Structure 1
Amino acid sequence: MAEEPQPEAAPAAVAATTEVAVAEKAPVEAEKEKKVEEETPAVEAEAKEEKKDEAAAAAAAGGDEAGAIEGTGSFKEESNLVADLPDPEKKALDEFKQLIAAALAACEFNLPPPPPPPKAKVEAAVEETKAEETKAEEEPKAEEPAKEEEPKAEVAAAAAAPPEAGTEEPKAEASSEEAKTEEPKAEAAADEPAKEESKAEAAPAEEAKPAEPEPEEKTVVVTEEEAATKTVEAIEETVVPAAAAPAAAATEEAAAPEPEVQAAAAPEPVLIWGVPLVGDDERTDTVLLKFLRAREFKVKEAMAMLRSAVLWRKRFGIESLLDADLALPELDSVVFYRGADREGHPVCYNVYGEFQDKDLYEKAFGDEEKRERFLKWRIQLLERGILSQLDFSPSGICSMVQVTDLKNSPPMLGKHRAVTRQAVALLQDNYPEFIAKKVFINVPWWYLAANKMMSPFLTQRTKSKFIFASPAKSAETLFRYIAPEQVPVQFGGLFKEDDPEFTTSDAVTELTIKPSSKETVEIPVTENSTIGWELRVLGWEVSYGAEFTPDAEGGYTVIVQKTRKVPANEEPIMKGSFKVGEPGKIVLTINNPASKKKKLLYRSKVKSTSESV
């Protein structure tokens, strides 16, 4: 998971399922490698099932299986100086800049504002309001006959008593009054169809204008009885405003976002990794060339990739993520930056064997929330590395070397798989051309076999960036690209944290000890000084001793370290020091009785006596 869009496995695809966290892949070979990545699980399953056959094939193709090294690592970075570009690439860069300027003017790099209700939604809301109004109208209409009957019954009862009178009338008068009340009832019955008709006319009017209550509706129902009129009016007053409210709200909602849209339309300055996309900044060309090279100078595809990357960074919250405390110090030993290669590229190490610790594995991938945090941590580490380690000036170092240790990596299938694939996709799509080389070490034989199978699907540019080394060749392979003083002790080098005696500025000398032979190293020393040295033989199983021989004739040789056999499980580095009072030399003797050659690393430092006190 370190600094570049690189997929999970060996040749950009196989590693995907083998590496636990994120073995990134250069996004240069985008679409072809995406296809490879999708085929990865099937390939790996097949590699496992036909393990023996693959082993034989790998041995036949690579010679000694234990020491096989795959991949040429022949990739050479192109110049970022515009003057050095071929004419077609210059033309593509100019066209790319024009597209970016047009996109900035059109605010294509701005995140859209919070989406206002789309037109379809507003229309749907209006239709829904109409439906509600219609339904609300139908309900009171259905209830009105029953409600009107009640007032009629009351009228009939009231007719038994003389209006404005508190005493009872004679029964004869009552019967005559009943006869009279029958006439109003007949009239009311005759009036009802007219009422229904007027309501039917009012309904279409309401549908045409759902947000505007019709003033006539309050007087649509007219009866002689005050009670009946009040009841109908009360129902309509409740229905009409309630129905009008949603329509008004929908209209306001549709109108409200307009100022927001206008505010969002203002162009924003766009920077990526602290570099502006337009202007006179010399670093701009370097960044734009990354996207162009990732898409083989196809300008429209590069533009689509850049736009997508900028919008993703805003959605993902890269700026705020840089300062976030994700509380994962335990992962410092899983992915870390250390030193530089022989060309000055920073080196990022991915050590997935650390996840053998079950507690650490659970803390990183135990549940969805933890996996999401791990992904943020990985992106944060990459972003910080880019800002602190890389220089986007045309002549600067703007890419890095990835070293992925596959020793004791977790199984291909596990809780980490989903987040690994997600991280690979993000790195591939949003971090183009950030990998100068990708070195896989301690690679198992079946991985090399799978790499051979997948190799035909990869572009030459991708294949030229990847190097695969078996356990027996891992340290030696690293030293081809990274000086031993820069390589951590755990990977075969001499770099140690907080070493009080030696630093990365103290160069290491490499020697090869032939089989069944002896190698001597002479370190000259001056009078009144202290000499210090350290050495390492990869795999040891040799004899080692040190002595001081004075320059003066007749001087006595002083044994500094008695010769002894050093087993393979010995401390990786031997240290020694000697205080001398006369000029002479320290002689280190290493005897290799084995039938295989050995790699010897050593360095020394002379201090004056005053310095050593």
Structure 2
Amino acid sequence: MAESTPPSTTAPPPENPSPAIPESESPVKLAETETHVPKEEESPVPEEESRAKIESETTPEPPVSAPAVQVEEHTESQTITESEDTQIKEPKKSSFIQSAVSFKVESNLLSDLSDFERKSLEDFKTQLKQSLSDKTLLPKSSKSAASSALNTIESALKEEDEKNPDENDGEVSIWGIPLLKDDRTDVILLKFLRARDFRVNDAFSMLKNTLIWRENFGIDKLVDEDLGDALEKVVFMHGHDREGHPVCYNVYGEFQNKDLYTKTFSSEEKREKFLKWRIQFLEKSIRKLDFDAGGVNTIFQVNDLKNAPGPGKRDLRLATRQALHLLQDNYPEFVAKQVFINVPWWYLAFYTMMSPFMTQRTKSKFVFAGPSKTAETLFKYVSPEQVPIQYGGLSVDYCDCNPDFTVDDPATVLSLKTATKQFVEIICSEKCIIVWELRVVGWDVTYSAEFVPSAENSYIVVIQKSTKMTSSDDPVISGSFKVSEIGKIVLTVDNPTFKRKKLLYRYKVLPFSD
């Protein structure tokens, strides 16, 4: 039986597994230069031999016309040792995980389906229509498990039939979409078919069981319940990935808070409330998806395992197991990708043991990254301006952020090599105001900024004197400068360490008049 990838739970599963400015309109051009600092006893490599283009290292393009980007470096050593700072421990486990085939979300357009898939979909719809007509999709026995206060689907259908006898034929809805009488039905049915490898009878049984469970669980009323906000830091939605999927962050380390852990998992009643909250959060998120054939109808999951409780937490283990079963059985194919960050060694060991029991389809959605690779891994799938600031990005959701930038303003990512100076030059051809943001993930670098006029008799203006930046400093530097003559702004970042880092920056050109 095929295995669908469930949406992420809020606990680690220890037992289950501004627009670009055209060049013609912009008063600035951008140049980036990096210089590798040689040791005193070594001679620098000739400049003409060391120049190279690095456009391939920048993604996405900066918010102006395509810059002239060059590298000037003098290498003191060709051999860089990458230890735990650049990769997860247990290299055999991590290399095994990285070898999984990448998953690509399938198209829901009928024209993109194979003949077999189209026939399976039609057979599924025929079987569903017959079951709805015969009133056998939801047997009466399922009602006994529901609360007496809940209205059953059959009674709701009966009332609707009395109002519109010619328009309703035992219609049932799921995630706010009527089955068979809506153009979006195909997308939902394809999720169940794919979860069961297009075996129609198995997919129909899964759908039927899901509808019964939703009735018994009281999903439609649960969506509108007020369950509080105590867990809002545990699971939250923030931004979109590069393909437009909404991103859900699951922060397992929050359960290290003993009070929160006790209030959430210390009794069966509390675990049931947690489960209701998690299902409610997922239901609300799903109802915001686009179930049109070409729409985005899956969620990108990020699972932060930093300080996550280990496998010895029995209460957490019970809640996790129950949540995984419910999500896997009743929410098929809602995950675009499962990215695990800040992964501890024990979780990789657990995954290695469980991997043989997972389908290739499930494993292909998993990506793992250790603490030193968190930001780099996220940037592969999510633009840095969309990544929360606590995970190495530039996105903030509180009021004291830089008002000049939003998630709509793209950032550039550069690889800051070891023992290297990186220069970002903004060439200004007329009066304007330049504003910028810059950060180096992890810092431990020196930063400075200056304005260099083009006129020979003018003086260099120090905007920011050379300052050592550490991880305890503000994660993002914001700056601005009024340009009153032709010249360039030079941002300098010096990385004296033997750790490669990620440099992020973005800037805007604003009008300026005397």
Deviations 1:111-147 (A, max 9, x none): 517989xxxxxxxxxxxxxxxxxxxxxxxxxxxxxxx
1:98 pairs with one of 117, 122, 126: 126
2:413 equivalent to 1:510: yes
TM-score (norm 2): 0.76
Matches within 5 A, 1:236-255: none
Change beyond 3 A, Cα 1:566–1:590:
same
Deviations 1:420-457 (A, max 9, x none): 21111111011000001000000012322332232222
Cα distance in structure 1, aligned partners of 2:88 and 2:225: 50
1:601 aligned residue: 504
1:275 pairs with one of 177, 198, 205: 177
1:8–1:421 contact (8 Å) kept in structure 2: no
1:446 pairs with one of 322, 346, 361: 346
TM-score (norm 1): 0.64
1:108–1:307 contact (8 Å) kept in structure 2: no
Deviations 1:55-104 (A, max 9, x none): 999334547xxxx9736561111110112111111111111111101111
2:212 equivalent to 1:311: yes
Change beyond 3 A, Cα 1:609–1:71:
farther
1:18 deviates by 7.3
Instruction: Look up the SS of the partner of 2:508 in the other structure.
Output: strand
Structure with bigger gyration radius:
1
Q: Higher helix share goes to which structure?
A: 1
Cα distance in structure 2, aligned partners of 1:566 and 1:518: 14
Matches within 5 A, 1:356-371: 356-371=256-271
Matches within 5 A, 1:184-203: none
1:356 deviates by 1.7
Cα distance in structure 1, aligned partners of 2:236 and 2:101: 22
Change beyond 3 A, Cα 1:457–1:512:
same
Change beyond 3 A, Cα 1:556–1:526:
same
1:509–1:603 contact (8 Å) kept in structure 2: yes
1:251 aligned residue: none
2:63 aligned residue: none
1:69–1:470 contact (8 Å) kept in structure 2: no
2:195 equivalent to 1:284: no
Change beyond 3 A, Cα 1:61–1:115:
closer
2:467 equivalent to 1:558: no
1:109–1:270 contact (8 Å) kept in structure 2: no
1:298 aligned residue: 199
2:227 aligned residue: 326
Deviations 1:253-284 (A, max 9, x none): xxxxxxx9x979x85320111222213x2211
2:79 aligned residue: none
Instruction: Look up the SS of the partner of 2:343 in the other structure.
Output: coil
1:234 aligned residue: none
Q: Given residue 175 of structure 2, which amino acid in structure 1 is its aligned partner?
A: W
Change beyond 3 A, Cα 1:263–1:335:
closer
Instruction: Look up the SS of the partner of 1:415 in the other structure.
Output: helix
Cα distance in structure 1, aligned partners of 2:127 and 2:346: 46
Q: Higher strand share goes to which structure?
A: 2
Structure 2 runs not aligned, ≥5 long: 18-86, 145-154, 162-168
Matches within 5 A, 1:26-105: 58-60=90-92, 62=94, 70=98, 72=100, 74-105=102-133
Cα distance in structure 2, aligned partners of 1:558 and 1:18: 60
2:307 aligned residue: 408
1:458 deviates by 1.8
Cα distance in structure 1, aligned partners of 2:8 and 2:505: 36
2:49 aligned residue: none
Instruction: Look up the SS of the partner of 1:333 in the other structure.
Output: coil
Instruction: Look up the SS of the partner of 2:458 in the other structure.
Output: coil
Structure 1 runs not aligned, ≥5 long: 24-54, 117-259
Matches within 5 A, 1:213-612: 268-279=170-181, 281-327=182-228, 329-388=229-288, 390-412=289-311, 413-497=313-397, 498=399, 499=401, 500-525=403-428, 527-609=430-512
1:555 deviates by 2.4
Deviations 1:330-355 (A, max 9, x none): 21111000000000000000001112
Cα distance in structure 2, aligned partners of 1:437 and 1:285: 22
2:265–2:271 contact (8 Å) kept in structure 1: yes
2:435–2:479 contact (8 Å) kept in structure 1: yes
1:501 deviates by 2.4
Cα distance in structure 1, aligned partners of 2:120 and 2:249: 35
Change beyond 3 A, Cα 1:56–1:354:
closer
Cα distance in structure 2, aligned partners of 1:557 and 1:548: 6
Matches within 5 A, 1:120-199: none
Q: Given residue 370 of structure 2, which amino acid in structure 1 is its aligned partner?
A: S
1:554 deviates by 2.9
Cα distance in structure 1, aligned partners of 2:88 and 2:374: 21
Cα distance in structure 2, aligned partners of 1:469 and 1:88: 38
Instruction: Look up the SS of the partner of 1:396 in the other structure.
Output: coil
Instruction: Look up the SS of the partner of 1:486 in the other structure.
Output: coil
